[in-house]
A and B are shown apart, each in its own frame.
Chain A
Amino acid sequence: MKKLSGKDLKLKANDIRRDIIKMLVEAKSGHSAGPLDMADIFAALYFNVMNVHPEDPKWEGRDYPVLSCGHICPVLYAAMGEAGYFPKEELLTLRKFGTRLHGHPHNLALPGIETSSGPLAQGSSQAVGIALGLKMDKKPNYVYLVVSDGEQQEGQTWEAVMMAGKNHLDNLIAVMDRNRIQIDGNTEDIMPLDDVKAKYESFNWHVIEIDGNNMDAVLKAYETAKTVKGKPIMIIANTLAGKGVSFMEGDYKWHGMPPNKEQGEKALGELVAEREKI
């Protein structure tokens, strides 16, 4: 697959954001804020960072994407649809009867989905397992884990973090969607996480902190991550919840709510205007 960079990658992130809005309006349920604020990172992963062949999803040399916070799957599906894993029209089947795009991702439903997720923190352990298996077989493939900040509240997250640090899994590159919101409110009100950078460092991880909505910073972080030896890598991506849609930005109420038709049109208008500026 042809790698994108610079302006093309930013345009792709905009495509993904517009896909997400259309999917959610059509589905009439689902999560808005996380998928929108992770569009830059998913564009980077699928169109620049990861070694994948959408036309041959089981290719042995592939990198392994693992989405732990399964509820932000609209961004995963949109990126996969854009990358050519399946026909883009299928994006509008999200959450509907008979779909392959379930409300939370299922590895057996859709080629290219490596794991099933939904109950938070399970992806971190799955990713550790895949990375360990690759190490046992001395394979060069990477595991690209995506976690939310809210799921850092799960004990299992830290069990996995401990094990990755112990095993020096430098083939595991994680990114945290640090959008500071969760269903019931702001993360620091629900259950404070900071200093999350220090927490990961104390478990023997290499931590990179960036603005997760700055494409250049995202690419540079992944580039740096691939040079790290002997430690798993966590990229703390500070994102603006609902990025790109003014009335969603920074508001936790949009964590688990879809836009209605009118809101969707307004959002698409804003995203089209944004596109002109790229």
Chain B
Amino acid sequence: MIKLNPKIGQSDIEQEPTRKGYGLGVVDLGDADKNVVVLTADLAESTMVHEFQKKFPERFVECGVAEQNMMGAAAGLALYGKTAFVSSYAVFSPGRSWDQMRVSVCYSEANVKVAGAHTGVTVGPDGATHQALEDVAIMRVLPNLVVEVPCDSIEARKTVVALGKMKGPAYFRLGRSKTAVITTSETPFAVGKAEIFRDGSDVAIIASGPVLYNGLLAAIELEKEGISVMVVNNHTIKPIDSATIIEAAKKCGAVVTLEEHQTQAGCGSAVCEVLAMNYPVPVEMVGMPNTFGESGEPEQLIQKYGMGKDHIMEAVKKVLQRKK
């Protein structure tokens, strides 16, 4: 079995925001490769690229509050030969810069890596305008793009380093608030490879992002009730690891998808596409139920919009009933 944080399920588990992993990962890359450049649109500290800025000021580009130009300039830097990291909140970039991402980056196969920070309702008090819940949808539809959703800060750091070493466009999704550190430095990670974080045989939870932790909590609780739940970390949304998803569906015969994103067109939909075409099984989808968020504390919002441990347990039981 994969080595995860032994404190999973305990109240004293370490908490860190995934954006921290971005800040660390991009410094790792900057140390190793002088062609790595970082751009931001007036959000250096909140996207945590300020350490890179301090260490490599000559390779740090402050674009001001102008995300469309930032994306285009990143494409120019990349087409010239740089590896360009674009840092902003996902609602702004790629939210406002989707057209630039489509043509200047993806169509042109520019070596640009886009960090979408402050995703999900766990952004909290800033409210609905700043809670990106549609970014995976608008990203995974673009050809030539890799889409990653790391589940914790350690995985985020590995994601950034891996994407930085690959050629071509990529998007990765980050969170604002502190969330459980699920993995360890030894947990295997490869772009394009989903990992089974917990084995089980009755239902498979296929999840992406920090909310995966609630899936693990649900699985632990359900085991006490005699329900055996597999938990798959499907961190790569594109290109999706069909083989692991099909394997999970074959073993369990029922699936719950889990993400902190609109259930339409996100990770869950990507999983459903794989299942519908290869191995159809009953699916329940846990995620943002086709609505906007609001202000509040992250945990309050997770509870209100149905992405907590209890909601996931309900979904598992519901899909079990549908299983023949």
Contacts and interface: CB of A to CB of B under 8 A. Distances in A.
A57 to B, nearest CB: 13
B63 to A, nearest CB: 6
A107 interface: yes
Nearest to A64: B80
Interface stretch (A124-132, A173-181, A250-258): A124-132
A159 B68 contact: yes
A122 interface: yes
Interface string A130-174: 111110100000000000000000011001101100100000000
A122 B79 contact: no
A115 B77 contact: no
B103 A119 contact: yes
28 contacts: A64-B80, A107-B79, A116-B108, A117-B103, A119-B99, A122-B75, A122-B99, A125-B73, A125-B76, A126-B76, A128-B69, A129-B76, A129-B78, A130-B77, A130-B80, A132-B76, A133-B76, A133-B82, A134-B80, A136-B58, A159-B66, A159-B68, A160-B69, A160-B72, A160-B73, A162-B69, A163-B63, A163-B73
B73 A156 contact: no
A106 interface: yes
Interface residues of B, number: 30
A217 interface: no
A166 B70 CA distance: 14
Contact of A126 (B64, B66, B79, B82): B79
Interface of B: 37, 58-59, 61, 63-64, 66, 68-82, 84, 99-100, 103-104, 107-109
A125 B103 contact: no
Nearest to B80: A133
Given A116-B107, A126-B73, A132 B61 contact: yes
Most chain-B CB neighbours within 10 Å: which of A64, A126, A127, A131?
A126
- The contact size tier of chain A is 20 to 34
B86 to A, nearest CB: 11
Nearest to B63: A163
* Interface residues of A, dominant DSSP: helix
B52 to A, nearest CB: 14
A114 interface: yes
The 10 closest A-B pairs by CB, nearest first: A129-B76, A125-B72, A159-B69, A159-B66, A133-B80, A129-B73, A126-B76, A129-B77, A130-B76, A156-B68
A118 B103 contact: yes
Contact of A107 (B59, B66, B74, B108): B108
Nearest to B75: A126
A129 B72 contact: yes
A108 interface: yes
Contact of A125 (B64, B78, B100, B108): B100
A156 B100 contact: yes
Nearest to B72: A125
B72 A128 contact: yes
Contacts of B74: 129
A142 to B, nearest CB: 13
Nearest to B112: A129
A156 B69 contact: yes
A163 B71 CA distance: 13
Contacts of A128: 69, 72-73, 76
Contacts of B80: 64, 129-130, 133-134
A130 B66 contact: no
Contacts of A131: 76
A82 B77 CA distance: 29
A125 B77 contact: no
Contacts of B107: 106, 116
A116 B109 CA distance: 10
B320 to A, nearest CB: 48
| Max chain A Cβ within 10 angstroms of own Cβ: one of B70, B73, B74, B79 | B73
A133 B81 CA distance: 8
Contacts of B84: 129
